[in-house]
Amino acid sequence: MSGTLAGLRVIDAATNIAGPWAGSILADLGAEVIKVEPLKGDMMRAYPPFVDGVQTQYAAVNHDKRYLALDLREERGRAVLHRCLGGCDVLIQNLRPGHEAKLGLDAAACHAANPRLVHASIAAFHPADGDRPGYDLLVQGESGLMDQTGEPDMPPSRVGAAAIDYASGLWLALGILAELQGERERATVRVSMLDVAGGLLNEKVSAFLATGVAPRRLGSRTATTTPHGAFPTADGHIVIGAATDHAFARLAEVLGPPLDEERFADQAGRLENRDELEAAVAAGLAGRGTEHWLAVLGEAGVPVGRVADLASMTARHRAASRTGFRAVEGVDGLEVMAPAFSFGEREWGPLPPPGEVGADSAAVLADLGLGAAEIAALREQGLIR
């Protein structure tokens, strides 16, 4: 759709979700992104589910790339990578501290090959944490995010998506775009997933540092306003965000007593009597279904929405958005979410399917200056696929 970054060449040597997602964002903006994988491929290629042999999550975070399989465990393979970097603008990697240098992906080695390269890396933790493996789940746990997620009387819960992976990829892409505007002299961008997760708790962290009082898990509710959360209806759930006195007054007009009592007249009173108030709201909603309350509360000016499952969410998104999904060509039924930004009236088009491991190895290396005989020798030596 957009050629904003046309002419930019990116090596994406990252695995799993966070780093590849940053590369996909740049690809969506027009950059040429070269996915560098081990000879066996990114481990994500093996995870189910599959559609016509294509792994769905791999397609979601590795779309619109070129595919180079290169053995970086061998010194000759690392030498090939460093030659390639001379013709590139950005390198993305997510190896653990201490492992970067083993595969030639550390900043010093990459900048020796190309001082104007933007070296971009994602790590789960900080260098002081040592050589620890890290995944979204571990970061959710260690960041305090899980402690703040779930019902008060239940164990801590993981957020129902790889939220830290995707947020980290977004931050890395933002940092890369910023560095591309600068001097680009041995530039580095580093993102810690632990820091990203902490940033998602920004207002809670600030409140804790100021007061010393740790907030408790409240499920879908918030500590500062009520009623503000999910409530059951006769056939499902809705979310109500009556965070202001005005919105609450509209809710009270619809549901009636006891919401009109003086003790609920302002936010302080509503918080002091939270349990009774929320029980009264739940009781008032129990007799009618979700569609009724969406219509009635919406008409009254109460902030309200449904708690949708993926089936209803995707159906609504498809009906409401011109650009919500991008079909993967040649793979029946496989679509990925389009970027959340849009540019005027232009639409996101379909995507080519992800290539097989090493599908573009010869073409990529030729574009980066290697000759046909050299490429053939690398293949014969088992350094590329």
Domain boundaries, the chain: 9-200+325-380, 228-307
pLDDT value of residue 342: 82
Cα–Cα distance for residue pair 181/208, rounded to 1 Å: 36
Instruction: Give the pLDDT means over successive 10-residue stretches in the chain (385 positions).
Output: 86 97 96 97 94 93 96 97 97 91 96 98 90 92 96 94 97 98 94 96 94 93 95 98 96 97 96 97 97 98 96 87 83 91 85 95 97 97 97
pLDDT, residue 98, reads 80
Q: What pLDDT shows up at residue 2?
A: 54
pTM > 0.85: yes
- Based on the residue annotation, tell me whether 360 is a catalytic residue of this protein: no
Tracing tokens 């979601």 back to the chain, one arrives at 60
Distance CA(192)–CA(317), nearest Å, equals 32
Q: Whose CA is closest to 84, among 110, 63, 64, 103?
A: 110
User: What is the structure's pLDDT at 322?
Assistant: 62
Active-site pick, 89, 106, 136, 165: 165
- Estimate to the nearest angstrom the gap between the alpha carbon of 293 and the chain centroid: 32
Query: What's the rounded Cα separation, in Å, for the pair 95 and 81?
Result: 16
CATH of domain 9-200+325-380: 3.40.50.10540
The pLDDT value recorded for residue 382 is 97
Same fold, 9-200+325-380 and 228-307: no
Number of residues written out for the chain: 385
Q: What is the pLDDT of residue 131?
A: 83
As a whole number, the mean pLDDT across the chain is 94
- Identify the architecture of domain 228-307 in CATH: 2-Layer Sandwich (3.30)
Structure tokens at 80: 């090939």
